[in-house]
Chain A
Amino acid sequence: MHADPKGVLTGVHFLDGDHACCEGTLAAGARFAAGYPITPSTEVVERFASRIPTVGGIFIQMEDELAASIAIQGAVWAGAKAFTVTSGPGFSLMMEHIGLAAITETPCVFVDVQRGGPSTGLPTLPGQADMMQARWGSHGDYGIIALCPNSPQECFDLTIQAFNLSEEFRVPVMMMMDECVGHMTEKVVIPEPDQIEITPRRYTKLPPEEYRPFEPREDLVPDMVRAGEGYRFHVTGLTHDERGYPNMSVETQDRLVRRLLAKLEPLANGRSLWETENLEDADVVVVSYGITSRVAQRAIQLARSRGIRAGKFRLITAWPFPAERIRELAGRVKAFVVPELNLGQMVLEVERAAAGQAKVIPVSHAGGTVHNPDTILNAIVEAAR
């Protein structure tokens, strides 16, 4: 279906990434946000608080991030599309409820505008060190989706994708922004509502007596219901059977947890989003994401001007990681260079996928600013040798 025109600010704008992300939530149909102020993410909900009363919806500033990250899930089960926004320490507090959303298959979006860590770290400065936390931060086995925009335009576009994917797969989706992308201001084009594709929530067509809330369809995703419509359904964070009832058996645990991961398999490779350049003849491929991909772009240009056959692989979907694609590239390139604003996170995935077929060279940075393009260039030169 197309976007509801009420939320779509069609036109050409000059927006920072945080504001563009907010416009993305509104265009995607989000009518509920709960947040707690934290730099450098707060502008997303500040704009939402200003916009939503004239669109029709709720913004509530909660008492902490634990509250914000579960209030949105209550709103989802009442029928809303909902999201929360945070950074570093707040993201840490939300981990328990990412697990709850995973096991209860509650579609919702978590925006994390990454800053330097650990702990209070560098509140106003960029980092990309929450990438593993986004994937593994809550206890137990489960799958999530994480998207990494590298411009305000993508903050808008990918936020819509994030909502769409969360509805399709019924998983929490993370928008893994960073302080630079969140605070940089660029041109953002917001299309006409009928040019924006929206994935509606898939509600059951079965009557209450036949409906089983966690009975998966063929694609392993169950149909939803919402409170107040006579289904008298039960949702629990305990391991549950298809009726939604707690069940502590090993078989039920196995069936449920394996499905929580298996339902994302179609996304891992065929439908992952990435951007590539010059891979055809590449000896060295720079794998990067977010703000770092823009610095890497310069390094790749410099390398090419020196006659080094450097190519670009920009991760847009960080999770599920496009391992097959990297593995395939590993068979024909000399090396991967992986710059990121952390001491080595996504590089581990590249290494895992490359499985020794190509060298993998991390270009780590503890955060606080972006890389110097020369640092990445040096790594490319070294790798091409």
Chain B
Amino acid sequence: MTPTTTLEIPEGAQNPVEPFLRMDRMPHIWCPGCGIGTTVNCFTRALLDSKVNLDKVAIVSGIGCTGRVAGYARLDSFHTTHGRAIPFATGLKLANPELQVVVYSGDGDLFAIGGNHFIHAARRNMDLKVICVNNMTYAMTGGQSAPTTPAQAISATSPYGAFEPTFNLVALAEAAGASYVARWTTYHVKQLSRSMEEVLKRKGFCFIEVLSPCPTLYQRRNKMGDGLDTMKYYKEASKIRHGAPTSECTLSKSGEIVVGKFVDRDRPDYLELLRAQMTESLGERYVEREASCSC
């Protein structure tokens, strides 16, 4: 037996991320080896490092395992309906542009049921920061196929192997008009945290895809080992290629994972476009909306 070391935890000590979390809701629901918690850790560090005013940050989630993130973040937080986090966030942002609005949800939520909202928010360049934890499956409901489930992968609804072509999320985001597009895995905690910090300081529609293991459903069914094995795979298979053409960044079941920041371009965002158009058409008659009315 290996001797165990007892770690003395000084009284009153806390993890630096604790102030960002609803500690009264711990323990969370995520499984051992799941990557969502890792992304939340990165997100809290990004909040810390970006020095944003946390009272002005709102987080919106849809439904699913990642959809639970909003419920653990000690921010103004909204757990909405399946697929509709983005349009909720759109209303929140437009009615109070002072808010920094983050959408945090999963691949099934954002790209299957919510796919239409994603492309339109990107097209409008709505000032939202969309973080998608991609575990390539519907985890909350038991591991069914998603639009991201790669060919040959086994899922609860593709018991003989998935065969539908998948979405390349980063290419989709770029084509739809996103200002910022990056992809990392839960192995790349530093890079992910830095990307998150970058988008918190940036205007426009920003999209970060984070590959994350679902050891309970996806990895187990596909005999890909546990969370640690997935970290090893992410480490070995990932190639950092900033600025890589997103069309070359398609993911597969066990192939290369291109990570990095692919798109970072300046486009006027929705509110800037609105203001410019109204000012041009209406001149002094245009009345900028009140930040939030008390009526």
Contacts and interface: CB of A to CB of B under 8 A. Distances in A.
Given A74-B92, A79-B96, A231 B76 contact: yes
A198 to B, nearest CB: 6
14 contacts: A53-B285, A57-B290, A58-B289, A63-B116, A67-B116, A71-B87, A72-B91, A73-B91, A74-B60, A79-B96, A201-B294, A226-B96, A232-B54, A235-B77
* Max chain A Cβ within 10 angstroms of own Cβ: one of B24, B58, B75, B293: B293
Contacts of A232: 54-55, 74-77
A70 B91 contact: yes
A234 B70 contact: yes
Nearest to A57: B289
B286 interface: yes
A31 B70 contact: no
A256 interface: no
A236 interface: yes
Interface string B45-78: 0000000001110101000000000110011111
Contacts of A79: 95-96, 291-294
Of A67, A73, A230, the most chain B CB neighbours within 10 A belong to: A67
A9 to B, nearest CB: 15
Contacts of B211: none
Interface residues of A, number: 55
Contacts of A81: 293, 295
A51 B96 CA distance: 20
A54 B96 CA distance: 18
A77 B289 contact: no
Contacts of A100: 80-81
A226 B292 contact: yes
A78 B292 contact: yes
Interface of B: 22, 24-25, 54-56, 58, 60, 70-71, 74-81, 83-84, 86-96, 98-99, 116-117, 120, 278, 282, 285-295
Contacts of A76: 91, 95
B94 A70 contact: no
A46 interface: no
A239 to B, nearest CB: 12
A227 B286 contact: no
Contacts of A251: none
A136 interface: no
Contacts of A6: 287
A14 B82 CA distance: 43
A95 to B, nearest CB: 11
A140 interface: no
Given A29-B293, A58-B289, A230-B55, 17 more contacts: A6-B287, A31-B293, A55-B287, A62-B120, A74-B87, A74-B89, A74-B91, A74-B93, A78-B94, A97-B81, A201-B295, A227-B58, A228-B292, A232-B54, A233-B76, A245-B22, A246-B79
Interface string A235-269: 11110000001100000000000000000000000
Contact of B295 (A29, A53, A64, A229): A29
B200 to A, nearest CB: 15
A34 B285 CA distance: 22
A236 B76 CA distance: 11
Contacts of A237: 79-81
A78 to B, nearest CB: 4
Contacts of B92: 74-75, 77-78, 227
Contact of A63 (B56, B95, B117, B286): B117
A60 B94 contact: yes
A71 B88 contact: yes
B71 A245 contact: yes
Q: Which of A4, A97, A227: most chain B Cβ within 10 A?
A: A227
Given A31-B290, A238-B79, A82 B95 contact: yes
Contacts of B77: 232-235
A96 interface: yes
A34 B91 contact: yes
Given A200-B294, A229-B55, A70 B289 contact: no
A283 B283 CA distance: 63
Contacts of A12: none
Q: Of B54, B77, B92, which is in contact with the most chain A CB atoms at under 10 Å from its CB?
A: B92
Contact of A54 (B80, B287, B291): B287
B58 A4 contact: no
Nearest to B78: A235
Contacts of B70: 234, 236
A71 B25 contact: no
